[in-house]
Amino acid sequence: MKPKILVTEALGPEGLAYLEEHAEVTAHHLLPPEQLPEILGDFDAVIIRSAHRITRELIANRPRLKVVARAGSGVDNVDLDACTELGIAVVNAPGANAVAAAEHTFGLLLAVMRNIRLGDLHVRQGGWDRQAHLGEELHSRRLGIIGLGRVGRNVARLAHAFRMEVYAYDPYIGEEIFQAHGAIRKPTLEELLEVADVLTIHTPKTGPRLTESLLNRLPKGAFVVNAARGGLYDEDAVVRLMQQGHIAGFGCDVFPKEPPNPEAPLFKLPRVVVTPHLGGSTHEALANVGVMTAQGVIATLNGITPPNLVNVPIPPLEVPELTALDRMCNTLGRVFSAMNPVFGARLVLTPGRRVPAESLPWVRQSLLAGVLQNRVDERVNTVNALIQAKEQGLSLTIEDDAKAADTLSLTLRWDGQPESQTEFEWQQNGTSALHLRRINDIGFDLAWPEVALVTRHEDTPGIVGQIGTLLGEFGVNIGNLHLGRRALGSEAIMVMALDTPPSDELREALLRIPGISSVYWF
């Protein structure tokens, strides 16, 4: 049965089309916010924009809801803590409108610096005084960028086309990003402000607030722009500094309260250009946002980790590598949990040398989710795995083993139980595939099948034949099988690739074969 998705506000047709290929969609141009609590419980996912807030009260006791998506870059109107505790994934569309926001930044700058709004009004009123509307050029100006994320980087790229000198402040970005975008790093905000003839900010709401004392550090006659988040500038301070002639002009697309008060002092100043939160609103950006949001929602509903998942520490990997690690974590966690049902207090993970270090926080959560998903009654997934593990008294230690293999692999064991060691590896020789290397310290080397049936049985003659005969009686074909054992006559493990999933009746019949102790299906 297809999942049900609620879209509360207008989404681009490309995004809607993608959703409708995979789900049953109820889409609104603008759902009245007071109606959302009445219907939310009937959906697996909800996509909002700016008109709705996802609160703890709204999502509590909604067991069907699995995904909350914000069709935009921010998630200020979503209670992330509540979603995380409840195992609800939060998806957004970071960077989908970065080009649009960067271009709008320069649109505001040009409008202010070249007196475009004033000139337009002057001509419409019958005037033609060119001297009165002389402006300033961007060429050779020193641009200060606060925040060198996706939008800030696009701003830097455009600034070079205007032959501007580009400076930036961002304590969370590595030096290689500054170099790649031709931005001179300033170690403090104050040092950036002191050189910026033109200032723009591109941070979340948690970014620095530009107070009067900070703005006073700008060179006299500087121009400032806010196309990021309302409230990042002290607007009263901007007004005072413009009245004093310290700031020459201000372009603003966002406000602390939207829509803003039209009688605000800011709007009475001539060299102020304002727009109604249009920074990310182009036809192209809306299409990108819609598609990215839709793809993230569908992937999450299908149990795949998308790169735009917000409340999980998604590593900065290419999609194929992230997908490979995602499948490996999920499979290893489920297989390990089933094959080692006696609960220990501490898991030990040994990553292969080719597992990127920046992926390990996410790997920890993904593995814990796989281990716990069949051990607790509540919903458990990568989103709330750390919370659920803590409640179960379970921890996971990542072991930095100098002898670890130079592979993209993960090995998991209970601390103090080497016989529980289970390992999977992602191999990329020819066709990429997930390979099983070890179960419960028994060596294997096989491509992990889409449908796997695993048995634990006595290593005695005849058992394998009985298993094959029984599967044939149930009409289930074996694609291939692999056997492993620690020693002659000890416990053996068999992994079978099946063409179709086994029924409950088949598994019960297998358990009635003398010598078989356990049967698992993955």
Higher pLDDT, 400 or 225: 225
Residue 373 has pLDDT above 90, yes or no: no
Residue 377 has pLDDT above 70, yes or no: yes
Mean pLDDT confidence for 6-14: 94
pLDDT class of 76 with cuts at 50, 70, 90: confident
Please tell me the predicted confidence (pLDDT) of residue 379: 84
Q: Give just the sign of the alpha carbon dihedral 15, 18, 20, 25.
A: negative
pLDDT class of 50 with cuts at 50, 70, 90: confident
Task: Pick the closest to residue 280 from 223, 228, 233, 203 (CA basis).
Answer: 228
Residue 376 has pLDDT above 90, yes or no: no
Mean pLDDT confidence for 138-152: 96
Q: Supply the residues annotated as catalytic.
A: 229, 258, 277
Alpha carbon distance 379, 385 (integer Å): 9
Residue 486 has pLDDT above 90, yes or no: no
Mean pLDDT confidence for 37-54: 95
Please tell me the predicted confidence (pLDDT) of residue 366: 94
Task: Give per-residue pLDDT as tens, 183-235.
Answer: 999 999 999 999 999 999 999 888 899 999 999 999 999 999 999 999 999 99
Pairing mode, strands 452-458 and 491-498? antiparallel
Listed in sequence order, the DSSP H helices in 137-244 are: 150-161, 175-180, 189-195, 212-215, 235-243
Give the three-class secondary structure for 122: helix
Which residue has tokens 């080009």? 99
Task: Give per-residue pLDDT as tens, 429-447.
Answer: 656 699 999 999 999 999 9
Task: Pick the closest to residue 348 from 422, 406, 426, 405 (CA basis).
Answer: 422
Please tell me the predicted confidence (pLDDT) of residue 161: 97
Report the percentage of the chain scoring pLDDT > 70.
Answer: 99
Mean pLDDT confidence for 330-341: 94
59, 69 in Cβ contact below 8 A?
no
State residue 342 phi and psi, 5-degree precision. Answer: -75, 120
Mean pLDDT confidence for 46-75: 94
Alpha carbon distance 11, 500 (integer Å): 39
CATH architecture for the domain at 312-441: 2-Layer Sandwich (3.30)
Please tell me the predicted confidence (pLDDT) of residue 163: 98
Report the percentage of the chain scoring pLDDT > 90.
Answer: 81
Where exactly does CATH 3.40.50.720 map onto the chain? 4-95+286-311, 98-274
Residue 102 has pLDDT above 90, yes or no: yes
Q: Amino acid identity, residue 216?
A: N
Task: Pick the closest to residue 349 from 397, 386, 382, 392 (CA basis).
Answer: 397
Please tell me the predicted confidence (pLDDT) of residue 137: 97
Please give the structure tokens belonging to residue 91: 């998806």
Please tell me the predicted confidence (pLDDT) of residue 409: 95
Element (H, E) at 255: none
Alpha carbon distance 153, 156 (integer Å): 5
Instruction: Kindly report the CATH number that applies to the domain delimited by 98-274.
Output: 3.40.50.720
Please tell me the predicted confidence (pLDDT) of residue 431: 63
Least confident range from 276-285, 362-371, 376-385, 504-513: namely: 376-385
Please tell me the predicted confidence (pLDDT) of residue 74: 78
Burial 277-296 (b: 16+ CB within 10 A, else e): bebbbbeebbbbbbbbbbbb
Please tell me the predicted confidence (pLDDT) of residue 172: 83
Q: Give just the sign of the alpha carbon dihedral 352, 354, 357, 359.
A: negative
Question: To the nearest 5 percent, what fractions of the chain are helix, strand and coil?
Answer: 35, 25, 40
Higher pLDDT, 198 or 388: 198
Mean pLDDT confidence for 503-509: 92
Where exactly does CATH 3.30.1330.90 map onto the chain? 312-441
CATH architecture for the domain at 449-522: 2-Layer Sandwich (3.30)
Alpha carbon distance 42, 504 (integer Å): 30
Please tell me the predicted confidence (pLDDT) of residue 432: 65
Least confident range from 65-74, 102-111, 242-251: namely: 65-74
Mean pLDDT confidence for 51-58: 95
What CATH class has 4-95+286-311? alpha beta
Alpha carbon distance 412, 418 (integer Å): 10
pLDDT class of 479 with cuts at 50, 70, 90: very high
Where exactly does CATH 3.30.70.260 map onto the chain? 449-522
Q: For 149-166, give the secondary structure using H, E and C.
A: CHHHHHHHHHHHHCCCEE
Residue 491 has pLDDT above 90, yes or no: no
* Average pLDDT of the chain, as a whole number: 93
